[in-house]
A and B are shown apart, each in its own frame.
Chain A
Amino acid sequence: MSIIDPSKGKGETLNPENWGKDYADYLFRYALVRLRDRQGAEDVVQETFLAALKGKDQFKGLSSERTWLVGILKHKMMDYFRKPSRELPVSGLITSEDPPEEFFDLNGKWQVKPSSWGDSPMDALEKKEFWKTFEACMSVLPGRLAQIFALREFEGLKNEEICNLFNVSTTNLNVMLFRSRMRLARCLETNWFGKKAKGE
């Protein structure tokens, strides 16, 4: 079937021969940030390419080749999360029943008080070094927390969608999101902002 698609105007065509070279690393990083599981990310990338080959007649050339591949990758990532047999990456089994973390004392007061991150914390986003720190902080989150944070914040999934995917209650999910944010914030504070702006 080689129907000429009139919408394929702008020279957006598929070149599967080059996918490995052009997109494998990109897609892998994309998946790794979200799955936090190297093997899983590699598998998902491979499945994406195979699915893309199979479905290449559906490519309408409306988006770039890469965007199209990312679309397929997203589906494959959701399949990954749905697979019940999948083993979680190390330390993945975090639930809200795990020992409470020491952010607050028994009266609910801050144990370690958040410090100021300066007047323009957003400037950090322009720095390569910051992203290294960010990545390191993501990587010390327990696997499940990191996955949930990534799905909520990077993929923009709704809370209900994540609850269904992982089969957790809304209350549990709220707790886990809270913890992941808290941990990330503390980690960035210690390893980035604390080092930049001493004082206060």
Chain B
Amino acid sequence: MLSCKEAAALVSESLDRKLPLGQRIALRMHLLFCRFCRRFSRQVLFLRGTADRVRGEKEGEEPPVSDSLSAEAKEKIEQALKTHSESKSKP
């Protein structure tokens, strides 16, 4: 029988690769009897759901982060863009 620590580690791993059959069965057995590991398993799936949302930002919504560039950095970038586009845009 897996310990909770082992089971939780497998729960995490199962998000990254397909577990071998033996481990899959052992994990399923453990989850059948252990509601804490069942909860953890739902929680990591929730995390995956948040990540899907963050990834979904590509089209449409903003990344769910409120930080923005510092004024100096923006200035620096504007400046760099300006000089480079001027020196480049000559045919």
The answer to whether A and B assemble together is: yes
Number of A-B contacts (CB under 8 A): 144
The reply to whether B77 and A45 contact each other, CB–CB distance below 8 Å, is yes
Q: Interface residue tally of chain A, by bracket? A: 35 or more
Say whether A29 contacts B55, CB under 8 Å: no
Bound Cα distance from A95 to B73, whole angstroms? 32
Contact B48 A32 (CB under 8 A): no
| Binary interface encoding of chain B residues 16-45 relative to chain A, with 1 for a CB under 8 A from any of its CBs, else 0 | 110000000000000000001101101110
Say yes or no for A135: interface residue by CB 8 A criterion.
yes
The number of chain B residues with a CB under 8 A from chain A is: 50
Known contacts A46-B80, A115-B39; A24 and B69 CB within 8 A of each other: yes
| A-chain residues with CB within 8 Å of residue B73 when the two chains form the complex | 28, 42, 45-46
Given contacts A45-B69, A67-B58, A175-B9, 12 further A-B contacts (CB under 8 A): A29-B62, A29-B63, A33-B63, A49-B77, A70-B58, A108-B4, A114-B40, A115-B39, A122-B46, A125-B49, A174-B9, A181-B44
Q: Report A's interface with B, CB cutoff 8 A.
A: 2, 16-17, 19-20, 24-26, 28-30, 32-33, 38, 42, 45-46, 49-50, 53-54, 67, 70, 103-104, 107-110, 113-117, 121-122, 125, 131-132, 134-135, 152-156, 159, 174-175, 177-178, 181-182, 184-185, 188-189
